[in-house]
Structure 1
Amino acid sequence: MRQEGEDLDGLVRKRIRGLRLVLGWSLDDLAARCYLSPSTLSRIETGHRRISLDQLTVIARALGTTLDQLVESASDDDVVIRPRHDAKRGVTTWSLSRDPAITVAKMRVTKPPPASVAELKVHPGKDWIIILSGVLVLMLGERRILVEAGQAAEFSTMIPHGFGAHDGPVELIGIFDPEGRRTHLRSGR
């Protein structure tokens, strides 16, 4: 069990740093919002200091997330959602969230995935993707998952993530919560 706890500890540290960077904040910016020193936050992010529950609570609040989201299990046993085909009715379905606060977008991806884990993004929420054609490379932390046409994936966006095309263009339908919409569908910069 110690290994699992160490993995979660490291993931929480990456989430804190990732959210801070996505928000465009320096250590000083976050420190001012959670009343900790920048050096304490730096040591927390780098693993040179243990994180106390009270520190984790104020850091989560300052980052605009919840304690639950920061410490959510990194289990991704259900990342790839395989379709259920009902031959009798001629219907194929994917079980996805029924949350009304979502955005659905068709996307065509032509660029390869990010080259390093440092380029991956983190934000509160979940993303869902359905691959219409091609093969998508889904990067989840250190993992590289191929999602093929006809498959779908659901994952916590608190896991550092990014995606790109594998050997040619990919067309997909993405279903994003408000945070995902801002991250994945922002106007071209």
Structure 2
Amino acid sequence: MKQNDGDLDGLVRKRIRALRVAQGLSLEELATRARLSPSSLSRIENGQRRLALDQLVTLARALDTSLDQLVETGTDDVISHPAVDAAHGLMRWPIKADPGMSVVRQRMTQPPPDNPALMRAHPGREWLVVLSGTAVLMLGHRRFRVETNQAAEFPTMLPHAIGAEGGPCEILGIFDRDARRGHPSAEEVPTR
């Protein structure tokens, strides 16, 4: 029985095919990974075969994704609104990510403090990608200029601070679970 593309079943079938194509896998390659015949996989993608939970689990693994991501339907939080953190000269946009990670877009206007006593240190690891402008990353007594389209990765046990140089800059800050705990404001962003 062919399923309606507007329902969850149709959405999951489209995702399976889209992930297979995006990863450059043929029907035969994915079928082998998922321990299915190529014809069975073709019928699953085309809606001519019923989707079984055990097949979905196997297909999710074969596509290097989770079952949750394969069947996710939530689209209510597609658009996020910025929150202004005037005390730190930042604008933050919450971005949905792995529950263990936090991704925050920040607009910075102030330079970072260059006094290590004013910097924070905590367990974890952080990454930043400069979207526009020039950011300055202070790590202890070292100063790094990070230009547009450059990224930095560092352990957060080093005293650190990030700011702008020569005008505003926008960055994506990515915090692992431990680093996120060291930056509670990364999670305390009100949404509308």
Provide the TM-score with structure 2 as the length reference.
0.47
Larger RCO: 1 or 2 (CA < 8 Å, sep 6+): 1
Provide the TM-score with structure 1 as the length reference.
0.48
Q: Rg: which structure is higher?
A: 2
